[in-house]
């Protein structure tokens, strides 16, 4: 079954003024859609690939044949990374973490402010296009990592539970070169209930 572009659980204008409707429309309806289509095209008709999930292929990227590995890494990564991005943001969100993930953030970063400083720094200092992530690492602890292009922590044996897209296409229409302003606005749309659900699912 081909990878499906997820329907958003909210309208394109539901995250304003933090994320604007035009950006969401292009980001989801054009950028994400294209990654999904190219990923599906790359594995179509290839036994051993098309019967595996995108997540499985990315977690074992070295097992993917040379001739399609870049396509899977870039377009499969683009498909999966954006699906998580849309799932961890929403309207009437933001504020402080909730549930078990709130306790883990306190344990592993000292406080929500300590987490926020590190997450923002990762998002700000990712040079060029990429992502900053909150992951559960191999030891079951929270960690903040950043990846370039469409690379995913799944390929490093980590389980992502929160992500911010810092490709310019995620913010340029509204924020131009002010990535820091986009990062600050992002905290107003983080759906901590969803993040906590992803965290709990790793346990």
Per CB under 5 A, residues contacting Mn ion are 165, 167, 170
Question: Which of 115, 145, 31 is closest to 77 using CA atoms?
Answer: 31
CB of 65 to Mn ion, least distance (A): 26
- Count of beta carbons in the 10 Å neighbourhood of residue 153: 24
Beta bridge partners of 89: 190
Q: Which residue is nearest to Mn ion (CB)?
A: 165
Q: Strand, coil or helix: what is 157?
A: coil
CB of 30 to Mn ion, least distance (A): 10
CB of 165 to Mn ion, least distance (A): 4
Toward Mn ion, which CB reaches closer, 79 or 104?
Answer: 79
Toward Mn ion, which CB reaches closer, 133 or 167?
Answer: 167
Question: Which of 71, 51, 73, 47 is closest to 60 using CA atoms?
Answer: 73
Integer Cα distance of 199 and 100 in angstroms:
8
Toward Mn ion, which CB reaches closer, 117 or 173?
Answer: 173
Toward Mn ion, which CB reaches closer, 79 or 101?
Answer: 79
Integer Cα distance of 46 and 49 in angstroms:
6
Integer Cα distance of 61 and 166 in angstroms:
23
CB of 169 to Mn ion, least distance (A): 5
Toward Mn ion, which CB reaches closer, 14 or 117?
Answer: 14
CB of 27 to Mn ion, least distance (A): 6
């Amino acid at each position: 079954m081909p990878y499906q572009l997820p329907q958003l659980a909210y309208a394109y204008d539901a995250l304003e003024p933090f994320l604007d409707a035009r950006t969401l429309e292009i980001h989801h309806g054009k950028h994400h859609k294209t990654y999904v289509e190219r990923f599906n095209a790359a594995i179509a008709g290839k036994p051993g690939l098309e019967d595996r999930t995108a997540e499985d292929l990315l977690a074992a990227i070295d097992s993917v044949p040379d001739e399609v590995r870049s396509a899977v890494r870039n377009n499969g990564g683009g498909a999966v990374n954006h699906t998580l991005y849309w799932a961890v943001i929403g309207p009437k969100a933001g504020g402080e973490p909730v549930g078990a993930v709130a306790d883990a953030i306190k344990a592993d970063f000292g406080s929500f402010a300590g987490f926020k400083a590190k997450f923002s720094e990762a998002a700000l200092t990712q040079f060029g296009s990429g992502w900053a992530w909150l992951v559960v690492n191999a030891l079951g602890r929270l960690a903040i990592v950043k990846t370039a292009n469409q690379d995913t922590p799944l390929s490093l044996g980590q389980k992502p539970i929160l992500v911010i897209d810092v490709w310019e296409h995620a913010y340029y229409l509204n924020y131009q070169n002010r990535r820091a302003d986009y990062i600050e606005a992002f905290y107003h749309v983080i759906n901590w209930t969803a993040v906590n659900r992803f965290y709990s699912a790793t346990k």
